[in-house]
Structure formats: C-alpha cells, structure tokens
C-alpha cells in the first residue's frame, strides 16, 4: 500500500494505491489494518485490487457452464470501511 497527500493550489487530497491479499484470512487482516491505520480520508482517491467486490452480480462474470464460485469474503467489512470515510466503488 502506498499513500501520497497531494496539494494543487488550495485543493488537497490523498491518493492511495492498495493491493489486498488474495487469501480470505490475509484479506481480513489487511482490511482491519487499513481500518486502524487511519490512512483513508474523506475525499481520498483509492485505487487498487481489494480481491473482493461490493456486488458480485456486477463485478464477476463466469464463462457459460462454469461451476466456479467467487470467494468474496470480507466484502461487507470493506464496504463499511469505505462508507465510513465517504468513499464508494466506482467500478
């Protein structure tokens, strides 16, 4: 994870780049660390791969006939964290 505070004239924001672990356990620990770190801020621009999605019907497509199921553990915790900071998934 990398975070940079940017200022242009009178405007400022935080840019955060994130890659969350693929494993459900690692991802849960990462989201908890992110929550405790206070690195997220209202109005920040967050870019990254959280390895979970808010709505699998919009973000996950299976090939026809596939029996694969997407493991979306901790997506609820991520949504709560983002909402707490006024952030949203822009797809």
* Residue with more model confidence, 33 or 70: 33
In whole angstroms, give the CA distance from residue 48 to residue 82.
Answer: 13
Average pLDDT over residues 49-55: 89
Distance in angstroms (rounded) separating the CA atoms of residues 36 and 83: 15
Taking the C-alpha atoms of residue 10 and residue 71, their distance in angstroms, rounded to an integer, is 43
Backbone angles phi, psi at 13, to 5 degrees: -155, 170
Query: Which pair of structure tokens corresponds to residue 10?
Result: 């009178």
Give the pLDDT mean for 8-24: 93
pLDDT greater than 70 at residue 91: no
pLDDT of res. 26: 96
3-state DSSP assignment of residue 57: helix
Which among 73, 78, 86 is positioned nearest to 18, based on CA atoms?
A: 78
């Amino acid at each position: 994870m990398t975070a940079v505070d940017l200022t242009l004239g009178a405007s400022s924001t935080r840019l955060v780049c994130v890659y969350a672990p693929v494993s459900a356990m690692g991802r849960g620990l990462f989201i908890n660390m992110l929550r405790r770190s206070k690195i997220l801020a209202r109005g920040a621009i967050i870019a990254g791969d959280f390895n979970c999605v808010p709505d699998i019907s919009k973000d996950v497509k299976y090939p026809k006939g596939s029996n694969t199921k997407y493991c979306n553990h901790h997506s609820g915790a991520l949504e709560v964290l983002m909402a707490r900071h006024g952030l949203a998934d822009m797809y």
